[in-house]
Amino acid sequence: MSFANPTPIQLGMTGKFDGTQYRVVGRVVMGEVEGGQIYYWNEFNLETDAGESATLVFERTERGGEWRFFTLFEPQYPITAEDAATKRVGDPLNLDGTDTRVTLVEQSRVYHIEGKAPEGVKVGAHANYFNTEGGNNMDVVSWTGEEVECYHGVNLPWSVVAGAFNIRLPAFSSLLQGLDSGSGSSGLASKILIGLLALIIAFVGFHFFASRRPPAVIKTSAPPALLTTGRAGRLNGTDFRIQSHALVEVALVGRNFERHEYYLDNNDGEKALLICGSKPSAQDWVLFTPLDPAEPFTPQQAGAVRLGQTLNVNGIVVKVSDLFQSTIRLAESPEADALKNGDVLYGFAGKSDHLHLLVRWNASRIEFFQGQALPEKDVTAAFKPPPR
């Protein structure tokens, strides 16, 4: 087994997360036995000049490389090592007022250390741990002997990690070239990309003690599509036609889910976006229409928006409830050449008393929508098949 570093993150590199500068001081290769084989992942030990520490985790999955960031927290309802050892997959747990369930119970081992490891971490050392999931929360409880540590975890797209360490992404090189040639300014293209990569979650420093595998991401599949491309109908007082349809995967903290998005137009060329499933497992319908703010965000400004932040966009005041990355998994777009499999958008969403706000962007564009929830029966009735 080679313990070579599979990532561009190297010892000595510095990265800035939410204004705090970290240095990579060590890398630990962890592993656990699954089905008679060892499953490995990498944990990068980060430190600030003030001695604060954090851990950035990389693992290879069937979905590709995935990154996660962990912070230590003191649970509101502490758990002992004896209690932790009794937990099994499916058991309920409440550490800080949020109901979660155990999704993985394992034991990890340290296989390799490069540079400085966290205190107490040595080659050959073992630790017990379990992962819990609930809503947008994913936690890890880890213990060795009688000492128990609890951690909050969050998923980070590779673009966010690359932005923190100022790494130019090879996958985006053609995009940068296209922006450069279009604008005539490589500086502008770089600023746009940096803004796109600025979705950095705020974290506090923590002391990392126990070793553990990152929590698995829960994925919820979308139900079958109820609408058909090309159908016309009157929805919310406007005559629309379904121009195209996309099955979209939305990545939230600790949770991925699929939903259906339908692109609508009318005879006047007006556009709308009809989404089925604003949350994991939800089958609600929201009709979004384009919003033209008097003072629109740039991609850089949008990328700096935080979860829980209150925004006023053209008089729509919302608290940001979701930060997400969306990827088109299946595009059914006979008339929309811009809709392609694999396209990625970053975004945030929020809701006032009566309106939804949706903002999405990539390096080349940003779009704003205001939305209104509709009953499913109204949607299906509007676009039902014609009588035979």
Residue 254 has what pLDDT?
59
Q: How confident is the model at residue 217 (pLDDT cuts 50, 70, 90)?
A: low
Nearest in space to 302 (alpha carbons), one of 263, 352, 345: 345
What six digits make up the tokens of 145? Answer: 């002997």
Q: How confident is the model at residue 195 (pLDDT cuts 50, 70, 90)?
A: very low
C-alpha of 39 from chain center: 23
Residue 1 has what pLDDT?
60
**pLDDT at residue 198 greater than cutoff 50:** no
Task: Mean pLDDT check: name the lowest of 30-44, 83-97, 189-203, 329-343.
Answer: 189-203
pLDDT (mean) for 151-173: 74
Q: How far is CA 316 from each of CA 366, 368, 374, rounded to the nearest angstrom?
A: 18, 12, 19
Q: How far apart are CA 185 and CA 128, in angstroms?
A: 53
Residue 169 has what pLDDT?
56
pLDDT (mean) for 163-179: 55
pLDDT (mean) for 218-233: 87
Q: What length is written for the chain?
A: 388
Residue 323 has what pLDDT?
84
Q: How confident is the model at residue 136 (pLDDT cuts 50, 70, 90)?
A: low
**pLDDT at residue 363 greater than cutoff 80:** no
Q: How confident is the model at residue 174 (pLDDT cuts 50, 70, 90)?
A: very low
Residue 193 has what pLDDT?
44
**pLDDT at residue 347 greater than cutoff 80:** yes
The pLDDT mean for the chain works out to 81
Q: How confident is the model at residue 111 (pLDDT cuts 50, 70, 90)?
A: very high
Task: Mean pLDDT check: name the lowest of 154-158, 178-182, 204-208, 383-387.
Answer: 204-208
Residue 268 has what pLDDT?
85
**pLDDT at residue 383 greater than cutoff 70:** yes
Please give, one letter per residue, the 3-state secondary structure of the chain: CCCCCCCCCCCCCEEEECCEEEEEEEEEEEEEEECCEEEEEEEEEEECCCCCEEEEEEEEECCEEEEEEEEECCCCCCCCHHHHCCCCCCCEEECCCCEEEEEEEEEEEEEEEEECCCCCCCCCCEEEEEEEEECCEEEEEEEECCEEEEEEEEEECHHHHHHHCCCCCHHHHHHHHHHHHHHCCHHHHHHHHHHHCCCCCCCCCCCCCCCCCCCCCEEECCCCCCCCCCCEEEECCEEEEEEEEEEEEEEECCEEEEEEEEEEECCCCCEEEEEECCCCCCCCEEEEEECCCCCCCCHHHHHCCCCCCEEEECCEEEEEEEEEEEEEEEEECCCCCCCCCCCEEEEEEEECCCCEEEEEECCCCEEEEEEEEECHHHHHHHCCCCCC
**pLDDT at residue 61 greater than cutoff 50:** yes
- Are the C-beta atoms of 349 and 320 separated by less than 8 Å? yes
Q: How confident is the model at residue 133 (pLDDT cuts 50, 70, 90)?
A: confident
Residue 171 has what pLDDT?
37
pLDDT digits (tens, 9 = 90+) for 12-21: 999 987 677 8
Q: How confident is the model at residue 336 (pLDDT cuts 50, 70, 90)?
A: low
pLDDT (mean) for 127-131: 92
The single residue listed with the structure tokens 């060892």 is 38
**pLDDT at residue 240 greater than cutoff 80:** yes
Residue 365 has what pLDDT?
82
**pLDDT at residue 306 greater than cutoff 70:** yes
Q: How confident is the model at residue 196 (pLDDT cuts 50, 70, 90)?
A: very low
